[in-house]
Every structure is written in C-alpha cells, then in structure tokens.
A and B are shown apart, each in its own frame.
Chain A
Amino acid sequence: MYANVTSFCAQLALAALMLVVPGLAAAAGGTLTVSPSAIVMGAQFNGIDLTVTGSVPAGVDVIVRLTGTPDELHLREKGKIFGLLWMNVGQVTATNVPSVYLVSGSRPLQQMGAGAAPFRLEALTGTFGIKEEGADSSIDIPHELLLLKSKEGLYRETAEGITLGETTGDMQQFSAHIKAPSSLKPGEYRVEAIALKNGSVIGQSQTVIDATLTGFPKWLSDLAYQKSVLYGVMATVIAIFSGLVIGLVFQGKGAH
C-alpha cells in the first residue's frame, strides 16, 4: 500500500514536472537501466554490484537508492534490571520497515538541501510504525533499528559510487555503483534515481529489479520449506553417515 501510494505520487509529480520542464522527460523516461537486470542468487552468490545508468539535466545533484519491500519486524528491547543487568525487557513490533535501504548521492546528501532530506537514512525513522509492549520509553527505537540494520549492511547512506559523465546538449550521463550485501532476501527491489537542483527535486525515475534463488540454493530452500520433516531427517541421516565415514577414514590411518 505504502509503495503504491509513493509510486503514484511520484508518477503524479513526474507528470506535472514533464509538463513544466520539457528537458526532464528524458530523465523521467525509460533511460534508467540497471545492470545486471536481475539479481540471481546461486551457490556462488556473494552480494552483488549493481550499476545504475541514466541521464539527468546537466549540473544537477543525483541520488540513487535501492529499496526492499516493507516488512513487519518482531524485536526485543534491552533495558537495565535492578540498575545492574542488561536484559531483554520489552517487545517491539515495527511495521513498514524496508528490508533493504541503500542510498548514495553524487555528493553528501546533507549538502544537497531540503529536497534531499526525505531520501536520507534518518528520514526513514519517521515512516516506521512502532508498537511497544512492557518497555521503558526512554529508548529511541527507530534510531536503534537503523543501527541494527546498518550493522547488518542492509541500510547505508554514502556519497560514493556515483560518477557523472560527459554532457551532451543540456543532458548529462551518470552511473551509480550499488554494492548489495549477500544477506538480501529473494524478492522485488525498487531502484530510483532522483535529480535535484538548488535543493529541490526536479526529476525522478524508477525501475524494479527481481532477486531470485537459482540452482542448488533454490532446490535446498524449496525442500527445507515445503518438505521440512523430510529435510530434517535427511540432514540428520547425512550427518550420521558423514560422521561414520570420517571415523572409518581415521581408523584406516590409525591401523598403519
């Protein structure tokens, strides 16, 4: 729902912008390309370097972001007991938390003015839905959630990876490198490019990229989730068998 509303707003804004500034049609149109065009997670998958290319009006700031689908998270909050021991003291349910949020700017986002503020990592905290149970309210939960996700490499804000290319007419090429971690889940990811001038957004375009499991990881994941008892028994039998084989190998060596 959130994603739909946002993209609808974005489209509305784009339509309005295209009417006002003819040069922006190119930025908003189909020029945003992501390579590779899909995230394929096979046995050798170790995160991925995405390259996003497109064109923007010359002399603007560029923000590129990768956003995962919003999740509901169940968390535990730590607090002090008896003024001495740190323990989980409360339960927190956080909704509308993007699984991944990687944003980079052609220069630091805080220097781009007010228009860049909604795209900053800190701005996410305002969109989370937080429900607390039995906890003390002294902790800034949205902020702690950002820390947690950042530590996992799933949230990041940088001023690196975007290079602006040569200018042709009043348009300019850009390319952005986004390093996505291996811990991202299969699913849909939204890639957006935003153009800012003098602190306000003048153009925005987006595309969607799919992450899917393939090969052995896909086979294993399907088995584990769809035939879980069989999977558990298989895991146990193979472990016992391997243990016996390794034991026998060692006996063979010991006999010499």
Chain B
Amino acid sequence: MSLSMNLYLPIAGASVNCLAIFGLGGVVGLLSGIFGVGGGFLMTPLLIMLGIPPTVAAASDSNQIVGASTSGTLAHFRQGNVDIKMGLLLLVGGVVGGTLGVQIIALLRKMGNADFLISITYVLMLGFVGGYMFLESLQSMRKSTRNTHAGAPRGESLYAKMIRWMPFQVDFKRSGIQLSALMPFLLGTMVGVLSAIMGVGGGFIMVPVMVYLLRMPMHVVVGTSLFQILFTCMNVTVMQAAKNHTVDFVLALLLLLGSAIGAQIGVKIGKKLGGEHLKILLASLVLIVMVKMLYDLLARPDILLTYAGGH
C-alpha cells in the first residue's frame, strides 16, 4: 500500500497534497529569504490555484509568514543585519498606519467600489516601485563598472537637506546612518496604510522605502524588513483567527516547513549576490506580478461571479 500524501484540512474545507504545499512553501520561502519580502503577494494566488478558498489562503499565509520571518530574522540577526531600533520605529508607525488603513477601507466600502481602488493601487504601486528600482539599479550597475567606489557621493539634494533639518535626530548604528526618529515612524505609517488597503504584509513596499527614502544599506534592509513583518503578521493571524475563523494552522505549518528551509537557503544566496543584483531581481519580480494583475483587470474572466468576503 502506498503512503497517501493527501491531508484533509477542516478549516480550508479541502483535501490537499502535502508535497505540493511543501514545495510551494519552499519556492516562496527562497524568495522571501533572498529579498526580505513576506511573499504574501505570491503565495496567496498560488494557494487559491491549489483549491484553497481565498480568505483562508490569505489568513493562513500570514500565519506561515510568522514562522518564516522568525527563522529569517534569526538568520539575519546572527549576521548582524537587523537594525532593531529602526525596525521598532517602523513597526510603531506600521501599527498606527494599519489601524488608519482599516478605517479607510471601511469608508471606501460604504462608498462602493473599494475593490477597484485596491486593484488600481496595486498596479500603480507595483509598477512605480518595480520600475523605479529596476531603472535605478541598472544605472548604478553601469556606474560601478566605471567607478570602483561602492557608494559614490551624490550632491546634497533638497530631500537630504530636509532630513537633516528634522528634529529628534537619532544615530542608527546598525545601518550606519543618522536620521530623525520621525522619518521611520512616518514612513512606517504610510506603508501601514497602504498594506492595510492592499491586504498584504507590505514587505515589497517597505523594502524600497528603506533603500531609497531611509537610505539604509541593502543587507540591513532585508533583515530589518523581516523583523518588522514578523510582528505585523502575528497581529494579522490572531485578528483573522478571532474574527473570521480563516486561519488553517495545519496548512500554515506545512507551508512553513517548506518555506523556512527555503528561506535559510535564500539568505545564503542573498549574501552571494551583490546588492545591485538583489535589487534588480526584486524589481523584475515586482514588475511580473504587476503585469499579471494588469492582465487580470483587462482580460474577460471565465466566470463573472466570485464569492464575497476578503478583498
């Protein structure tokens, strides 16, 4: 008798193949380890394709990210790549922004067509972030071949002057930068609002924000992002389980097993790849997802009805 790989998940209300879920976790975990993004924007659609209801897929994914980012944070922490001071400030901002975002969504729902706004926000954000990162890292890769300096000093921009003028200057030793404490708080709030509206952990917005607006070094960015995502997803998991009963903990554990292993390998690959290569790869990934979402908006769906609930 062959060993059955099927497992029945009572919360998702479906039977799944353990190996398929495990493999899916591994691939997404690999990306998460390399780029420091939660991978929610990839994992959820793939789970839906495997027959998991969308609301359960999104909530269980948050549960999985808790575990994956724990092991990812640990790996980065050992290498000294987590700026805890910065992470906590971003987190406090993120919680404020998240609460604000939930209120905004409720208001939009009342006015109707919140879904349209969510999709458009996605396409614009992904397109803008992906496009900018792609062009920027392409430019600096060309520069670095001519110029052996890793970080060529740029002219003092208006933005840099403004940062220096802000009160509450704090020294962030891990990142090797000096900033006003208000900056990570405000940017964390902004990302919190966006990620609440879009229903994701926000890693793929947070990473560019840390690179371009906080000007942190790429390797610290990844560790700090994972640290911040860990707490965001803990909050989401408990809230979803309590309110909507959509967390399938067995599904999450299976995904976690795959993704935690993938993430460890990802961290090692990330170390080998240069910062510019990392950026251009993440940019390409973000752009691919953007194109897929744009296609979904433009192409006629097979079935003109969907279940309500979730986004």
The chain A residues found within 8 Å of chain B, CB to CB, are: 41-47, 73-79, 81, 84-89, 91-92, 134, 139, 141, 144-145, 147-148, 151, 182-183, 185, 213, 217-218, 220-221, 224-225, 228-229, 231-236, 238-240, 242-244, 246-248, 250-251
Contacts and interface: CB of A to CB of B under 8 A. Distances in A.
B80 interface: no
Main secondary structure of the interface of B (DSSP, over half): helix
Contact of B249 (A79, A182, A238, A244): A238
Contacts of A47: 15
B14 interface: yes
Interface stretch (B69-77, B129-137, B192-200): B69-77
A144 B112 CA distance: 23
Contacts, number: 182
B8 A75 contact: no
B154 interface: no
Interface residues of B, number: 61
B298 interface: yes
B10 A41 contact: yes
B237 interface: yes
Nearest to B17: A46
B152 interface: no
Contact of B66 (A74, A78, A229, A243): A243
B309 interface: yes
Interface stretch (B35-43, B138-146, B300-308): B300-308
Given A75-B305, A243-B68, A236 B237 contact: yes
A245 to B, nearest CB: 8
Interface stretch (B177-185, B209-217, B239-247, B275-283): B239-247
B256 interface: yes
B253 to A, nearest CB: 7
Given A73-B307, A247-B74, A235 B237 contact: yes
A216 to B, nearest CB: 8
Given A235-B249, A236-B66, A246-B264, A217 B305 contact: no
Max count, chain A CB within 10 A of own CB: residue among B69, B238, B240, B301 = B238
B67 A243 contact: yes
Contacts of A243: 66-72, 74, 256, 260
Contact of B70 (A86, A91, A221, A247): A247
Given A244-B71, A247-B75, A251-B78, A148 B305 contact: yes
Contact of A231 (B8, B249, B302): B249
B301 A86 contact: yes
Contacts of A46: 4, 6, 8, 15
Max count, chain A CB within 10 A of own CB: residue among B10, B66, B113 = B10
Interface string B270-311: 000000000000000000000000001111111111111100
B186 interface: no
B176 interface: no
Nearest to A225: B245
B269 interface: no
